[in-house]
Amino acid sequence: MKKISVISGGTSGLGLEIARLLVKSGKNVLILGRNNEKLSKASHVLQKDSKNMIAESLVCNIGKEEDVRKVGEFIRSKSYEVEYLFNNAGMGLFTKAQNSTSALIDTLFEANLKGMILLTSEILRITPGYQELTIVNIMSTSALLGRAEETIYCAAKWGARGYTEALRTELKGTKRNIIAVYPGGMKTDFWNIPGQNRDISTFMDPAEVAEKIVNAVIVTDKMFVTDITINRKK
């Protein structure tokens, strides 16, 4: 079986940079994303970097169970062994607490929490217990701090953090390693929100953040990192 790394939200920003570093490090990758056109462009980029490594892509809305099941089916049909799962997908939508609606809550929770849970569950389900598996849950510093006009977003991210901690406890003593990552703001399409303008000129370069994450995750020796918080210099 060929080992592969699965990256959700892999079409741009941090997810794509992680995928690029992985293939350059000799890892096979499978990137997931909702948009077929963006996936095609990202795949083209990865093919240039991959040399002899496998760079697969698959359309998937990780918030939809039927899509996630198809990911599992695809991996098994290719006889791949998942070595790393990078739960990177997410979205932001910031507003005052008084503007919260059921639709906003559902949208943010699906993208930032439900999708992480569904994809992790599927990868665990298809990965035999004797195989080593590292799950990297990439969240946000908003999972550590409460922020104004981020009530729903923080709630979703704090939920993701709680899920990560509980997952780590449940899988203790197995061949599953759980790594929590809390990055600060980055210069990505994440901030392209209609009607909301933010100055991101001082935010971090996703390529540099990806390097911090990948180096910490794949260079393990006899130890591995459990929690990573990445902030920009002030």
Q: What are the structural domain ranges in the chain?
A: 2-230
- The pLDDT tens digits for 91-115 are 888 889 999 999 999 999 999 999 9
What pTM did the predictor assign?
0.92
| Proportion of the chain above pLDDT 70, given as a percent | 92
Q: Which of 147, 201, 213 is nearest to 5 (CA)?
A: 213
Residue 51 has pLDDT above 80, yes or no: no
Q: What is the pLDDT of residue 192?
A: 60
What CA–CA distance (Å, rounded) separates 216 from 209? 11
Residue 233 has pLDDT above 80, yes or no: no
Question: Residue 91 — φ and ψ, nearest 5°?
Answer: -150, 160
> How confident is residue 221, by pLDDT bands cut at 50, 70 and 90?
low
Q: What is the pLDDT of residue 133?
A: 97
Residue 191 has pLDDT above 60, yes or no: no
**What are the residues whose beta carbons fall under 8 Å from the beta carbon of 115, sequence distance 6 or more?**
8, 61, 62, 63, 68, 87, 89
- The pLDDT tens digits for 157-170 are 999 999 999 999 99
Q: What is the pLDDT of residue 220?
A: 64
**What are the residues whose beta carbons fall under 8 Å from the beta carbon of 198, sequence distance 6 or more?**
191
Least confident stretch, 27-36, 71-80, 81-90, 221-230: 221-230
Instruction: Report yes or no: 26 and 52 within 8 Å, Cβ to Cβ.
Output: no
> How confident is residue 187, by pLDDT bands cut at 50, 70 and 90?
confident
The CATH code of domain 2-230 reads 3.40.50.720
Residue 73: what residue type? E
Residue 195 has pLDDT above 80, yes or no: no
